[in-house]
A and B are shown apart, each in its own frame.
Chain A
Amino acid sequence: MIKWGRFLLFLVVVALLGTLVATTTTQVASNITLGLDLQGGFEILYEVEPLDAGHQVDIELLKSTAHMIEKRINIGGVAEPVITTELPNRIRVQIASQSADQDKLRELIGKPAVLTFRDESGNIILRGSDLAPNGAAVGYDDLRRPLVTVKFSDPKKLEDVTRVNLYKRMAIYLDENLQTNPTIQSVISGGSAQITGDYTQESAQELADLLNSGAMPAKLIEKQVTSVGASLGALALQKTIYAGYIGAALIFLFMLVVYRMPGMIANITLVGFTYFCLLVLDWMHATLTLPGIAGFILSIGIAVDANIITYERIQEEIRSGKTIFSAFRSGERRSLITILDAHFTNLITTVVLFYFGTSSIQGFAVVLAMTIIVSIITNVFGSRLLLWLVVRSNMFNKPFWFGVKESEIGEL
């Protein structure tokens, strides 16, 4: 007896998935950032050294330094740099833009930006860390020349210092560069001071931003600067995606011809799988690199394989003379262990690769691990659920629908 309810449920699930994929794929795909190796750009590898020789570089210092680097790059106006910390002491900065000014960014990042106020004998009397949050701003002198005004968080401190050093010079240094060396004419009580120098509007703004972002918490040593040509420019990417479509069409056709009804379900779940992988990539804010695409291709292979293993098994069981439903049950059950073992072994590999590999290998591992997990959900359990609905609807209980000829069926 045909059970329409189950078939209807199957149609609803497929229709929902179809609508979701059709309406949101373009948006999801466009949200995914392409990595350095796909877009072109450059990469700088820094080694982090503590400011004081006595201190050690730990994960906290690395993180705060990386955070500061990100702030600095934002000052330079570059979108979405990828900054990764690598233990024990490295920070990798990737800027996937071919138009970014490499030299300027390197200078911005490389500046420690330690602001100090020193008295006549060179003692440091005030520091950049005494500044109020966002206390630096661009101002103008009487001749409309740009200068930088700084506001201290504790006006009392500046007042005391200026009282002690009244009529003496107070030098303002940025790192070891003297910016200005004014004579203190009066006790400053408002907590504001000015840094004058030969600034343009732009450089004054940059200095103010630098001071607001704070000093670099560690010393950075450039180990490697690499410019990367785009291996997949817009055109090349288009071409490769097109090639991917053809490849997918071949898989779809193959599955339909060889496995028929289950093959169609495999195709539906494969579409779902690809869609959910893109979605998760988007959620993770992951950057897609070529090794990442490699991981994706592998996982599609594994996902297709999971379906082929199951359907081959079901065909075997049908040939042995079982009914469609019991063939489906035992085929599913027997193939499950195989598929899960294969998935888990690969998952273990990704964990090891992530733990021991360098950044590009980690990119591969992350994408592969994510897609394997998605694949278990969509291609193992999702496809089983759909196939169960269809089998239980009793509409397709001829061996033909499973790609088995009646003549191949043996006696039980």
Chain B
Amino acid sequence: MSFNQQDTVIRFDIVKNRRKFFIGSSAIIILGLVFILFQGLHLGVDFKAGTRLDLFIGKEFKPADVEAVIKQSIPNIAFSPVTPYGTHQAYTRFDQTVSSDKMMAVEQGLKAKYGDQVTKQVSTVDPSIAQEMVKKAAVAVVIASIAIVIYIAIRFQWLFGIAAVAGLIHDVFIPIAIFSVLGLEVDLTFIAALLTILGYSINDKIVIFDRIRENLRTMKSKSIEDLEHLVNVSLWQTMRRSVYTVATVFFTVLAIAVLGSESIRNFSLALLFGLVSGTYSSIFIAAQIWVNLKERNMLKKKAKA
């Protein structure tokens, strides 16, 4: 690009201050880790093995009475308090998988007490399946990250790939940390949200790296000062685009979070956190990590020469 690089207004020297952003993000990540270690994540039913029992009682009942019947048939497995819902319905959840003959015994017991209209619906989550689901998602994301590094290494340089994936890890971790801190429930939709964040974050990083790559061809980048200036210019050239894009997506998701159904509110919230984190990290983390890596490379080359 032969025109206004030198005129690009740098309103704030991002590269000079990169250490501050590293410290800020590290602080959030450490705080998140502490919360995850001590408080854990509030896992939804998808991730916990166990059995959910839905009962249709068909007449007025006291949850305590139903609990007594369950205790009688299944004495040694803990279950959540029987919660009524709808018309004469209730559900409870067992911490372990309960065999179907035991469930039959519960149904018989309830039929004896409330009459033949009692029906049940049982759903079980096998522990191995639940674990496998998370494991597969994690493996898929790791392999996807490797594929991204390879693609970026071919199209750009491989230092960009490393920087991009560092940013991705940041962006996936931030919503997890926030969910842990706020104690929001993590279920399967959360995984979908994380994947969405991943995709958005990749897109955002590529766009910024692309501008750096383009400027590398036309601007000076021999000295560390030149390089830092180049990255600053690139970031400010793409700043409007970064802000506008995140703003449009952010407000759309915000509309869904506020006006949409409550059942996907956690999903939209995770997206909101991830969007902000994704845009932030493209500019203030991923690009800066690239600067660090590149400078180290330059110093090494100098030392050799």
A residues whose Cβ falls under 8 Å from a Cβ of B? 37, 42, 45, 102, 223-227, 231-232, 236-237, 239-240, 242-244, 246-248, 250-251, 254-255, 258, 290-291, 294-295, 297-298, 300-302, 304-305, 308-309, 312, 316, 319-321, 334, 337-338, 341-342, 344-346, 348-349, 351-353, 355-358, 360-361, 364, 368, 410, 412
Contact = CB atoms under 8 A, between A and B. Distances in A.
Contacts of A356: 136, 139-140, 143-144
Contacts of B99: none
B196 interface: yes
A344 B151 CA distance: 9
Pick the most buried of A224, A255, A297, A353: most chain B CB atoms within 10 A of its CB. Answer: A297
B17 to A, nearest CB: 24
A342 B203 contact: yes
Nearest to B262: A236
Interface in B254-272: 254-256, 258-264, 267, 271
Given A239-B259, A337-B210, 15 more contacts: A224-B129, A231-B263, A240-B261, A247-B256, A258-B244, A291-B191, A294-B267, A295-B195, A297-B196, A298-B196, A312-B241, A338-B206, A342-B202, A357-B136, A360-B191
B148 A225 contact: no
Q: Which 10 A-B pairs have the closest CB atoms?
A: A247-B252, A236-B261, A243-B259, A291-B192, A356-B140, A320-B3, A243-B260, A240-B260, A247-B255, A301-B249
B252 A352 contact: no
A360 to B, nearest CB: 6
Nearest to A231: B263
Contact of A360 (B129, B192, B249, B267): B192
Contacts of B13: none
Contact of B191 (A224, A254, A361): A361
B140 A290 contact: no
Interface string B1-36: 101100100000000000000000000000000000
18 contacts: A102-B121, A231-B189, A231-B263, A237-B261, A251-B252, A290-B189, A291-B189, A301-B200, A304-B248, A309-B245, A312-B244, A320-B4, A348-B148, A349-B202, A352-B147, A358-B132, A364-B196, A410-B7
Interface in B96-155: 121-126, 129, 132-133, 136-137, 139-141, 143-144, 147-148, 151-152, 155
Contacts of B262: 236
Contacts of A342: 202-203, 206-207, 210
A243 B206 contact: no
A336 B244 CA distance: 19
Given A320-B3, A341-B210, A361 B195 contact: yes
Nearest to A330: B1
Contacts of A304: 245, 248-249
Contacts of B125: 224, 226
B247 A254 contact: yes
A295 B196 contact: yes
B264 A290 contact: yes
A353 B203 contact: no
Contacts of A225: 122-124
A361 B189 contact: no
A300 B203 CA distance: 12
B98 to A, nearest CB: 12
Contacts of A247: 251-256
A226 B124 contact: yes
B261 A239 contact: yes
Given A290-B264, A341-B155, A349-B148, A223 B126 contact: yes
Pick the most buried of B129, B206, B251, B267: most chain A CB atoms within 10 A of its CB. Answer: B206
A37 B133 CA distance: 16
A335 to B, nearest CB: 9
Given A243-B256, A345-B151, A227 B123 contact: yes
Contacts of A254: 244, 247-248
Contact of B147 (A45, A237, A316, A348): A348
B46 to A, nearest CB: 9
B211 interface: yes
Contacts of B289: none
B95 interface: no
B265 to A, nearest CB: 10
A309 B195 CA distance: 23
B302 interface: no
A259 to B, nearest CB: 9
Contacts of B152: 345
Contacts of B4: 316, 319-320, 410
Contacts of B191: 291, 360-361
A65 to B, nearest CB: 19
A338 B122 contact: no
A109 to B, nearest CB: 16
Contacts of B196: 294-295, 297-298, 364
